[in-house]
Every structure is written in C-alpha cells, then in structure tokens.
Structure 1
Amino acid sequence: MDAAFLLLAGVFLPLFPLSMLFNALLRRAHRPWLRALLLLTWPQPGLALVAAAQPPLPDWLMAWALLSSALYAFRALSLRELGLWTGFLACSLWALLWLVLARPGEVPPGLHALGLSAPLVLLTLLGTGLERRFGAAYAGLYGGLAQQLPRLAGVLVVVVLAGIAMPLFPPFFTLLSLTLATASAAPAAALALAGIWLLWSWAGARLLQGLVVGPGDSGGGPADLSPAATWAYAAALAALAGGGLYLLGGLA
C-alpha cells in the first residue's frame, strides 16, 4: 500500500517517467488560465497524499527525485519553446519537494510548492503574450526583444530568474534550505542540488539569449506590455520576493 501511495504521489511530485502525464496535459492545455491552474496546483495532491498516508520515504526515493530533477534540468538546456521549457522546469523543481517532505522544517511543504509554482504561472502568462504577438513563443524566432519590446523583455528576464532560483525569490530559499539540510548528513545530495541549480541557470541563460538578445526588428512591430500590465507583473514579483523573505525566516 505504501508503494502504491508513493507511485501515485510521484505523478504529482514528478518522478520520471511518471511525470510524462503532467507534460502531456500541459501541452494540451491551450487556454492560459488552464495552464496557470495546472502549474499552480499540480503538486498539491501529491503533498496531500503523502501527508495522509505518511509512508516511509526511503533513500532510493530521494535518489530517484534528484535524478528526475537533474534529468529535466538537463533536458531544458536544449528546449527553445517557452511552454515546453516551463513544463520541464516545473518537473525539475517539483521533484525536489520529495526532499522537503523527507526533511520537514518550519515552513509547510505546501507553501514551498506554491513558491516554486508562482514564477511558472507568470512565465506561462508571458508566453501567452508572446504567442499572441508573434504566433509562437520560441527562442531564436524573433531575437532582440529587448530592442522591440523593452518592458516585456525586462519582465521576462526577471520572471525567468525567479523561476531558476535566483536570490530573493522563493525557489532560491527552498533550494538553500534543502542544501543546508543535506550538507552534513548527505553531502552527495547537497552537491547534486548545486549541480541542478547550475543546470537551471544555464538553461535560463540559453533561453533568454534566444529571446531577448539580438538586434531586433527596426520596423513597426507588435505592441509592448502596457504600463498597467508592467506594474501588475512588478507587484507580483515584489510579492514573490516577500514570500522569499518569509522562507528565509524559516531558515533561521
């Protein structure tokens, strides 16, 4: 019974290849609100299953979670379509929630999951905006967003940085708490977490290089983000930074 609960939870706290279901659903979710809902809520049933059953979490499961996270982080390096990239980053992030469950702290796992998911919701909304303007959200298809649409490009850069666990945002503090918790008891796991973070950073840099960097189109193009939308994204990012500081308090 414990194994059945763990396998079912592995669909929602993505363990490869069980994670393929989420990516298939995300690819078929064409409405922005449905993508956002999937990204925001998908890990929560897995957390609820583990909390209800409270099965023992063996070491091999932690290794499976780290391997799944590293696999999706590595796969994101070669992805150029923003929607697919977001889905693979989500799987890489959420797989680490198994380590949160194995080493619980003061911050509830559900809040860690929300902190990991929130930047992905902003990213999928930005991807929808790119699809509306250009027909696709694909790195290299229209390089030079910084020249064409500076407000959208600026918001996109910060949201990607939030998603790949840069400081001030919740994913960074979740990763930091896991690294500190495993450094003494399981140094190999701490090194694996550092490697996964480097893969996220590399994948994010490659994506932004294909989307933002370049000469841009000097002719008339699609409209930039409105000032109101820019401020709305800025407020959401500020709220995320506040959530990151809350997680930092949980480390003390």
Structure 2
Amino acid sequence: MAMATYLLAAVFLPLFPFSAVFNALFAGAQHSLLRFGLLLAWPQIGLALLQTAPGPRPDWLPPLALATAALYAFRGLAARELGQWTAYLATSLWALLWLAGPGGLAGVATQWHALGMSGPLALLALLGGGLERRFGGVYTGLYIGLGQSLPRLSGVFVTTAMASVALPLFPAFFTMLALLMTGAPAVSLALLATWLLWSWASARLVQGLVVGSADPDAAAYRVSDLSSLTAWAYAAALIALTVGGVFLSGDLL
C-alpha cells in the first residue's frame, strides 16, 4: 500500500518515467487557463498523497528526484516552444520537492514552497497564451526583437522567466537555498548544476524571443502590447511573489 502511494505521488511530483503523464497532459491542455490551473494544482496533489503514505520514504527516491530534475533541466536547453519549456521546468522544479523533510523546508510547509515554485510558471502560461493569440505560436527564433515591438509584454515576460528559475527574492530562490543548506555536499553540487541549467535555458529562451531588432514593416509585429492595466496586474502578482519569497525564507534569515 505504501509503495503504491509513493508511485502515485511520483506522477504528481514528477519522477521519471512517470513525469511523462504531466508533460502529456500539459501539452494537450491548449487553453492558457487550463495550464494555469494545472501548474498550481498538480504538485499539491502529490504532496497531499505523501502525507497519507505510511512509513519512511524509500532510499531510492531522492537520487531519482535529483536525476529527474537534472534530466528535465537539460531538456529545457533544447526546448524552443514556450509551453514545452514551461512544462520541462515545472517537472524539474517539482521533482526537488522529494528532498524536503516531513516538516517542510526552512520551517515552512512544503505546500507553500510548491505554490511559490508554481506561481511564476502559472504566470508564464498566461503570458504564453497571450503570445499565441498574437502570433499563433511561441517559438524561439520565429519572431525576434519583441522587446522593441512589445516592450510591456517583454518586460513582464523576462521578469517572470527569471522568477521561474529562482532569481533571488523570488520563492524558488529560497526553496533552493534551503535545499542547499540541508543537503549533503554531493546533493548540493547536483542542485547547483541543475540551477545553472535552468538559468542557461531561460537565457536562451529570452534571447530567442526578446533580444534583437524587430522588423517594423513585418505584419507579424503589428500586434497590440499589454495594456497598462494588465501590465500592472502582472507586476502586482510578481511583487506578491517577492513578498511570498521572503515568507518562504523562514529560518534562513
């Protein structure tokens, strides 16, 4: 019974090969609101299952979690479509929640850490939906120079992408810091390598979408930017995430 619970939890806190379930569902959920809800709810189900699992966790779970996180961080380097990159990053982030102890991280319940990880990803899903409505698809290199043609949307996108890969003061940063401080040296090295891959992949994504010179005569760039009200709404959400990151620092500060 305990093993069945852990295997089911491995679907919602994705561990390879069970991670294929989430990635397939995310790819099939075409509406941005569905993806938004999926990103917020999916790891919470896994953590709820872990709370019902009797007995200690099997010893093979933490190494598999680290391997899954590193695998999907590496796969993110090759992802050219925003939705796919978001799903890979979510899988990589959530796998690390297996390393949290029963009492959470830094004195804060693991559910809050999961929500802090998922928040920026959920915002990315909404931004991706907006980009798809404007361009029909969100692929790096397909339309470059969005920083010039859509400055408000690009600014929000870059900040959200950085928040997703654990930029300081955002929630995932303090989750990673807590894991680094409580892990063995080998675990910490694996976490740092995974963190580096996230940052590298996000830089490639931003470079392929935002950086460069837009062609002002191209019809594809004649689309509307975010309204001021919408941009401020995203900014408020990012500020709330920053405040939540300080909350997640717990005993670290």
TM-score (norm 2): 0.96
- Number of aligned residue pairs: give it: 249
Are the equivalent residues in 1 in contact too, given 2:124–2:161 (CA < 8 A)? yes
Query: Which residue matches 1:196?
Result: 194
Query: Which residue matches 2:206?
Result: 208
C-alpha deviation, 1:78, in angstroms: 0.3
Query: Which residue matches 1:226?
Result: 227
Query: Which residue matches 2:12?
Result: 12
Query: Which residue matches 1:27?
Result: 27
Unpaired runs of at least 5, structure 1 = none
Matches of 1:103 and 1:199 in 2, distance apart? 28
Are the equivalent residues in 1 in contact too, given 2:103–2:110 (CA < 8 A)? no
Tell me which amino acid in the other structure corresponds to 1:174: T
- Does residue 100 of structure 1 match 2:100? yes
Q: How does 1:56-135 map onto structure 2 within 5 Å?
A: 56-101=56-101, 104-105=104-105, 106-135=107-136
C-alpha deviation, 1:250, in angstroms: 3.7
Query: Which residue matches 2:162?
Result: 161
Tell me which amino acid in the other structure corresponds to 2:78: S
**Cα deviation 1:90-134 (Å, max 9, x = unaligned):** 000000010114673310011011000000010010000110011
Cα RMSD between the aligned structures?
1.2
Structure 1 residue runs of 4+, over 2 Å off?
101-105, 249-252
TM-score (norm 1): 0.96
**Cα deviation 1:206-244 (Å, max 9, x = unaligned):** 000000011112136101111001000000000000000
C-alpha deviation, 1:45, in angstroms: 1.2
Matches of 2:163 and 2:126 in 1, distance apart? 14
Are the equivalent residues in 2 in contact too, given 1:9–1:47 (CA < 8 A)? yes
SS at match of 2:70: helix
Are the equivalent residues in 1 in contact too, given 2:73–2:92 (CA < 8 A)? yes
C-alpha deviation, 1:88, in angstroms: 0.5
Are the equivalent residues in 2 in contact too, given 1:57–1:102 (CA < 8 A)? no
SS at match of 1:124: helix
Q: Percent identity?
A: 59
**Cα deviation 1:162-192 (Å, max 9, x = unaligned):** 000110100110000000011xxx2100110
Unpaired runs of at least 5, structure 2 = none
